[in-house]
Amino acid sequence: MLPDIKGSCPFAEDSFSRFPSQSNMYGLCQAGDQELLAATLKGKVVCFRYQDLQQKLRPVAKEVQFTYIPVDAEIVSIDAFNKSPPNRGLVVGITFIKDSGDKATPFLNIYCDYEPGSEFNLESIAQSCLNLELQFTPFQLYHTELQFGEGQRETVFLLSGHDQRIHFYKENASLHQFEEQPVERFFPELKELPSNVLWLDVLSIDDGRRLTAFGCQNGCVGLALVNQRGPEILQSWRLQQDSPISTVSLFPLKLPTHNSNTEWLHADEVSEVTEYNLLVTSTIEMAVVYRDVERCGVSRPVCLSDSDQCDAILCALLIDLDFDGQLEVLLGTYGQDLLCYKFQQPVGATEEGQFQLMWRRSFRSPLLSIIYLDLTGDGVKELAILTIKGLHILQHSLTSTADLVLQRLADRVAKISDAPKDRPITKQDCERTTASTNNGQNASTS
């Protein structure tokens, strides 16, 4: 049982769309800026968006007819991305298993329209298919931006399978198609894996480096720091847990560092340092955050207390829910609960910070996937939660959000007005004021 929690969920449910059959933890992705694609196990793909109907924004869920997906197919995973500049276009990947009676055959379909003017048209993209038969059962389909050469960038697919391998798919622009290439050529940290990878995450950091994390079916967690220019593995770590790993998520955490030059600084004006952390969730154990993995590897674990009290954790997301610049941890569980944890700064210099459970929200079915995006185009993002029964859309209170923007504008103006006359107006002051004004305009128009 979870302890009594004083905080309440800051979201209100705006809509719920029931699907014809259930999905899974790989079954939801963002497609473009304001659309979602949800895949059901019975071969259906639903596009969810908000449309202006009768002068009101209304949620619309519409099935998209992707070609070369048989009616008896079972969709395993779906993912989509916009091509890295200067290239243009939306790419959608769908893995499924076709049951032919005698045997089940897995496939990967990659959809991309190269016709000028149709690169982002989902209906046209759904008719332009590259069909690849697989020799393994697929799991997570994931995309990441690859950095190589002199500032070159390209977004690629990574697909995990039951063959204990990660498969790498890169676009061949001259042939207008995607091809599988050896993963060790660009991701040497994914060459030799101890088990089937259930979840993968990649985060690019400064100096042309990246952090790569994966979680395996046998409970193994892998982490690597890689120089992308080689690519070259700078450091790598492994740890073993007692149950299958459901998700891994790399995320930054901003920590205050007080400036020694405080003659004209307000008490709350401090500089910040960014550390990179790894969230690991499993099907039985508590969720764990490994702090400052870039420098410390996996030697600084912090457990998220009571995160093991709501059955298996199936999904996780790191987002700034209260607009304070610090990411909160959202956990979706098979026990039908959404849990929110917030990092609490340490009191003393020798103490470790902790993640505190702030609130819990219950649903009527297990949670499978979470995405945070601006579906309505008003500048304030919505929380999309895929459950076994369908898709929930939760919204911030626009009144509370607008009040928060106005309060922060007032605070910023007061700080600038109260500053000593010999204190210069800094670039940071201007940037903060401009950002607050823009946020206020976005909130007011909504």
Over residues 228-260, the pLDDT tens digits come to 988 999 999 999 999 999 999 999 998 877 554
Residue 157 has pLDDT above 90, yes or no: yes
Contacts of 8 (CB under 8 A, 6+ apart): 359
Report the range of poorest mean pLDDT among 9-18, 19-28, 51-60, 128-137: 51-60
Beta bridge partners of 331: 316, 339
The beta strands (E) that lie in 365-446 are given as 367-373, 382-387, 390-396
Structure tokens at 224: 């690597």
Question: What CA dihedral angle connects 51, 110, 226 and 223, to 10 degrees?
Answer: 80
As a whole number of angstroms, the distance between CA 67 and CA 144 comes to 25
DSSP 167-192: EEEEEETTTTEEEEE-GGGT-GGGSS
- In this prediction the pTM is 0.88
Name residue 186's amino acid.
F
Mean pLDDT over 380-408 rounds to: 92
Residue 341 has pLDDT above 60, yes or no: yes
Residue 350 has pLDDT above 70, yes or no: no
**CA proximity to 319, closest of 265, 279, 283:** 279
Name residue 434's amino acid.
T
Residue keyed to tokens 């197919």? 73
Contact predicate 59/15, CB 8 Å: yes
Residue keyed to tokens 């009527």? 364
- The rounded Cα 309 to chain-centroid distance in angstroms is 24
Structure tokens at 17: 């769309």
The pLDDT value recorded for residue 329 is 97
Radius of gyration from C-alpha coordinates of the chain: 23
Predicted confidence band of residue 378 (pLDDT cuts 50, 70, 90): confident
Q: Percent of the chain at pLDDT above 90?
A: 70
Angstrom CA distances, 234 to 74, 137, 284, 354, stand at 40, 31, 32, 29
**CA proximity to 66, closest of 88, 89, 96, 87:** 96
Contact predicate 254/318, CB 8 Å: no
Contact predicate 106/129, CB 8 Å: no
Residue 1 has pLDDT above 80, yes or no: no
Residue 388 has pLDDT above 70, yes or no: yes
The pLDDT value recorded for residue 2 is 62
Question: What CA dihedral angle connects 4, 331, 256 and 437, to 10 degrees?
Answer: -100
Angstrom CA distances, 274 to 67, 224, 340, stand at 45, 18, 21
Four-residue CA torsion sign, 262, 267, 271, 274 = positive
As a whole number of angstroms, the distance between CA 97 and CA 339 comes to 33
Beta bridge partners of 230: none
**62-82: pLDDT as tens digits:** 999 999 999 889 999 999 999
**182-237: pLDDT as tens digits:** 999 999 999 999 999 999 999 999 998 999 999 999 999 999 999 998 899 999 99
